[in-house]
Amino acid sequence: MEVIRKKSKWNNTVFNLKPSEIHEELDRFIIGQERAKKILSVALYNHNKRLHDKTGLIKKSNILLAGPSGCGKTLLARTLAKILDVPFVIADATSLTEAGYVGDDVEICIQQLITVADGDIELAQKGIVYIDEIDKIARTGENRSITRDVSGQGVQESLLKLIEGCTVSVPISDRRKHPHGNNVQFDTSNVLFICGGAFEGLFDTERKTVVGFNTEQPKIQDNKKDANKELTSEALKKYGIMPELIGRLHIKCALTGLTESDLVHVLTKPEDAITKEYQTLFKQDGVDLIYEEEALHEIAKHAIEKKTGARGLRSILEDVMLDVMYEMPDKKDNISTCIITRESIKTKQPKIIKKRQKRKNTATAAEASTGTG
């Protein structure tokens, strides 16, 4: 479970961004996924209207994001919460269980929202919950464990009312509910739920689905730009997601895998790009860090080969620069520049340029001074 806590006061400014302006904010941190950004920009704009609606006519539209690992699902959800300036919680669906089984009750998400909002129930009720790995709780069979709900159906059933909107009793001081515990009543009607998952093989014609269907469908995991962007309820049902849960995830958005060019842009374009981060780290030791264009493409190729997407870029760079970052603090007075080349991606030995030594000039000046004397 991950929580995002803001240092500043919540909602200290009036949210009045248009969908196009929300899209521009997403562009600052997220590369590609233009259709997804458009869908989510409209969804966030309408959700903000609901938060201020007094008529009760505007209904909540929860979101499902499907796409390969490292394509930006979690970052999209995190950025939406940052734009709206509301409490944000990331929960892992694989750690959740229905009541009575070993694991976290689904209400743990709400408990964490309250924690993030510093106990402000009204504020927490406007938050966003991102449930990751939702595909991992697809129904896998009828057998049940007496200690662990391995089928996943129980978790889906437990999430139904929570996602749709209901009043639940949430423990404040303990991870599990207790009849005589310190519980509070929490209304989830205005909490925006975003579910994400890789759904590996969802549209793969070679995949044998758990309920016996084998209908030919286009892939969404393909890195090509013309990948099918439709995410149908029928395909999700065949994958093992309950129709009732599908019906509560009104906005369905398929994300495509990032191409080599996209990954290069992820490395360099966003305001918090990882290459800029490492340049800042090196600069604090007085060393300039330079990336050659070919090296960036080589890093992107490695991430695609490992099928890790943008998530794997950091580990690749860490591996390449481990030795130089270990030795640099001891030798920084002699190092001027560190260059990441294409060859260094393979050898894990960046090119080091040393500072020019002035000893010879100093010695010559000393000799001249002695001769003059």
Give per-residue pLDDT as tens, 251-306: 999 998 899 999 999 999 998 899 999 999 999 999 999 999 999 999 999 999 98
CB atoms closer than 10 angstroms to residue 144? 13
Q: Indicate the pLDDT class of residue 149, thresholds 50, 70 and 90.
A: very low
Phi, psi of 363 (to 5 degrees): -65, -40
pLDDT value for 211: 43
pLDDT value for 102: 41
Higher pLDDT among residues 371 and 295, named by residue: 295
Q: Is the dihedral of CA 195, 57, 41, 34 positive or negative?
A: positive
The DSSP element (H or E) to which 299 belongs, if any, is helix 293-306
Torsion (CA) 23, 125, 74, 264 in degrees, nearest 10: 30
DSSP per position, 106-154: TTHHHHHHHHHTTT-HHHHTT-EEEEE-GGGGS---S---SSS-TTSHH
Query: Do 219 and 198 meet the contact criterion of CB atoms below 8 Å apart?
Result: no
| Residue % of the chain over a pLDDT of 70 | 76
Question: Token digits for 330?
Answer: 């001891």
Spell out the SS3 assignment of 199-213: CCCCCCCCCCCCCCC
Q: CB pairs under 8 A, 24+ apart, for 143-147?
A: 145/101, 147/101, 147/102
Q: What is the mean pLDDT of the chain?
A: 80
Q: Indicate the pLDDT class of residue 307, thresholds 50, 70 and 90.
A: confident
Cα angle 113, 63, 158; round to 5: 60
pLDDT value for 45: 92
pLDDT value for 97: 64
pLDDT value for 323: 92
Which tens digits make up the pLDDT trace of 330-356?
Answer: 888 889 999 999 999 989 999 999 987
In sequence order, the 6+-apart residues with CB closer than 8 A to the CB of 145 are 101
Residue 122 above 60 pLDDT?
yes
pLDDT value for 204: 57
In sequence order, the 6+-apart residues with CB closer than 8 A to the CB of 365 are none
Which tens digits make up the pLDDT trace of 155-190?
Answer: 888 889 889 888 888 887 655 555 556 788 999 999
Q: How far is Cα 161 from Cα 155, in angstroms, rounded to an integer?
A: 11
Q: How far is Cα 278 from Cα 274, in angstroms, rounded to an integer?
A: 6
Sheet of 335-340: strand order equals 288-291, 335-340, 351-354
Q: Indicate the pLDDT class of residue 146, thresholds 50, 70 and 90.
A: very low
Question: Token digits for 192?
Answer: 């925006």
Helices and strands (H, E) in the chain, number of each type:
14, 13
For residues 15-26, give the mean pLDDT.
89
pLDDT value for 5: 44
| Residue % of the chain over a pLDDT of 90 | 46
In this structure, what DSSP letter does residue 265 have? H
Question: Token digits for 265?
Answer: 């842009």
For residues 222-238, give the mean pLDDT.
66
Which tens digits make up the pLDDT trace of 198-213?
Answer: 898 875 544 444 444 4
